[in-house]
Amino acid sequence: MANSMRRKLAAGELVLCMNLRLARSVDIAMVAKAGGYDALYVDMEHSPYSIETAATICAAALGVGITPLVRVPSHDAHWSSRVLDGGAQGVIVPHVNNRREAEAVVRNCRFPPLGQRSVMGLGPALGYRAMPLGEINERLNADTALIVMLETAEGIDNADAIAALPGIDVLLIGSGDLTTDYGIPGQVDHPRLREAYQRVAAACREHGKVLGVGGIRHNVALQGELIRLGARFVIAGTDVNYVLAGARLDTTALRAIPLG
């Protein structure tokens, strides 16, 4: 049950993650695995997922060897602790703007001495294997990935201070929200977004953290540029977009057939 995503990131390898907004059954974990993904994340920020559904998908992902993550809907501690207790091997926290907010993420998601996460004991993230509580806490601290999203100009300005914080693993730029905050919504080729990625990449290199890419999909040229810049955690697509792309392909082909 070790977090394979964290092992890949530690080795400097590329991790591809699927964003889930549509799927509600455990089959999606097998689909993501078969599709070549390393991780998936259940998006509780922008979809009406319940804790129970999120935990069920996380447990299924653990069973097939793909890393389950959950994007929580807010910074409130109970969201992070409950999804982690439910089997998530990592938490994506949106809209982290400064070091103080990042410190709260660590406090909510790490056991002492790193944080103040409440102790559950045996759980799905370790396969319910019996072991001393101290060992459980140590293992979960080591296996849990903490991913903070920088989605505003303030967050980019504070990237160095956030990256310097022990306990944070990935600084993930939310390109959609960031371009909106910059007043250039959706313009992912804009020089200002490139500059933001360069600044965060430098902070990640300085402090040994991972640069993450979010909100840039189906643009392999730009994704390749950011991977060459140092990004190793990439949200490569969403289940919604995959369903729509397949549907449009079929309907377009069928409507192009001349009627007899």
CATH superfamily of 4-255: Phosphoenolpyruvate-binding domains (3.20.20.60)
Predicted confidence at residue 260, as pLDDT, reads 82
What is the full per-residue pLDDT of the chain (260 aa) written as tens digits?
A: 789 999 999 999 999 999 999 999 999 999 999 999 999 999 999 999 999 999 999 999 999 999 999 999 999 999 999 999 999 999 999 999 999 999 999 999 999 999 999 998 889 999 999 999 999 999 999 999 999 999 999 999 999 999 999 999 999 999 999 999 999 999 999 999 999 999 999 999 999 999 999 999 888 999 999 999 999 999 999 999 999 999 999 999 999 999 98
Predicted confidence at residue 218, as pLDDT, reads 80
Q: Choose the catalytic residue: 46, 75, 78, 207.
A: 46
* Annotation says 190 is catalytic: no
Predicted confidence at residue 235, as pLDDT, reads 97
Predicted confidence at residue 94, as pLDDT, reads 98
Predicted confidence at residue 255, as pLDDT, reads 96
Closest CA to 171 of 185, 155, 184: 155
Q: Are strands 231-238 and 15-20 parallel, antiparallel or unpaired?
A: parallel
Predicted confidence at residue 122, as pLDDT, reads 87
d(CA 175, CA 208) in angstroms, rounded, equals 22
Closest CA to 105 of 169, 20, 200, 10: 169
Question: What are the tokens at 256?
Answer: 């192009």
Alpha-carbon distances, residue 110 vs 113, 130, 139, 230 (angstroms): 8, 20, 11, 26
Q: Are strands 90-93 and 145-150 parallel, antiparallel or unpaired?
A: parallel
Eight-class DSSP state of 25: S
3-state secondary structure of 6: helix
